Amino acid sequence: MSLPPLGLSLVVAALATALSVLVGLPLAWLLARRSFPGRDLLTVLILLPMVLPPTVLGYYLLVALGRGGPIGQWAEAVGIGRIVFTPGAAVIAAFVASLPFLVVAARAGFEQVDPAYEEVARTLGRSDLAIALTITLPLAWRAVIAGAALSFARAVGEFGATVMVAGSIPGSTRTASIAIYDAVQAGRMHDANVMAVVLTLTTAGILFLLTRLGRGTGW
């Protein structure tokens, strides 16, 4: 895969957002609707990437995903091969950084759903999973879209953790935010200028569409 920085940024952010939705929705539901030992600890762990400096996050990821780290060793053993300094590492970095935004928004959305809807659904013979998918999720739809938009925005803007764990390899891991930094460092102000404007307009356009979708027509 060889992509110009902007294309790479959008692909990485889209994959990271998709992962955040897949992993984050069940987590958000669990935190909103179940009490279990360690729930507060889990909340803190999920939120931590929001407050940690991205370089610290990147450092932890480097330790975990690197050749000597537990995930890195496992990936080598099962034949996935090296993770760090690949596009996959950029996706993982953006995913970890953007996950809390999805979880916070979706959890708040799930908590807004009147539990009576879920309770009546339980008396109608449906499983918890069916209820979560057909009642809770559709009723919290707007919050989930808002969370996905925030998550995507954070993923596009990801810089520090990505540099640490994926580096800046042209066409492979050099996303737009990194390319802009590199261009400024090299004194290529015109390149930086063009990329900054295009990145701003593109992401603004995508966020605008997501916001419209989230507002929807309602029921």
Partner 1 sequence: MSLEVTLRSEVENFSLDVAFHAEGGITALFGPSGAGKTLTLRHIAGLERVGEGRISLHGRLLADAAAGHHLPPRERRVGYLFQEYAVFPHLDVARNIAFGLADRPRREREARVAALLEMVDLAGFDGRRVRGLSGGERQRVALARALAPEPALLLLDEPFAALDFRVRRALRGSLREVQRRTGVPMVLVTHSLAEVRELADHLVLMDRGRVLAEGRTADVLSDPGGPQAAELLAEELG
| Binding range to partner 1, per CB under 8 A, among 8-16, 51-59, 124-132, 204-212 | 124-132
Q: Does 123 bind partner 1 (CB under 8 A)?
A: yes
Q: Does 138 bind partner 1 (CB under 8 A)?
A: yes
- Beta-carbon contacts of 218 under 8 Å, excluding residues fewer than 6 positions away, are none
Least gap, CB of 104 to partner 1 (angstroms): 23
Q: Does 135 bind partner 1 (CB under 8 A)?
A: yes
CB atoms < 10 A from the CB of 182, how many? 18
Q: Does 124 bind partner 1 (CB under 8 A)?
A: yes
| Binding range to partner 1, per CB under 8 A, among 32-40, 56-64, 77-85, 126-134 | 126-134
* Near partner 1 by CB under 8 A: residue from 51, 80, 129, 130: 130
Least gap, CB of 134 to partner 1 (angstroms): 8
* Near partner 1 by CB under 8 A: residue from 119, 209, 212, 215: 119
What is the C-alpha separation between 87 and 5, in angstroms, rounded? 12
Least gap, CB of 25 to partner 1 (angstroms): 17
Q: Does 121 bind partner 1 (CB under 8 A)?
A: yes
Q: Does 112 bind partner 1 (CB under 8 A)?
A: no
What is the C-alpha separation between 183 and 190, in angstroms, rounded? 9
Q: Does 120 bind partner 1 (CB under 8 A)?
A: yes
Q: Does 114 bind partner 1 (CB under 8 A)?
A: yes
Q: Does 142 bind partner 1 (CB under 8 A)?
A: no
Residues 83 and 77 sit within 8 Å (Cβ to Cβ): no
**CB closer to partner 1, 120 vs 186:** 120
Q: Does 40 bind partner 1 (CB under 8 A)?
A: no
| Binding range to partner 1, per CB under 8 A, among 1-9, 12-20, 39-47, 111-119 | 111-119
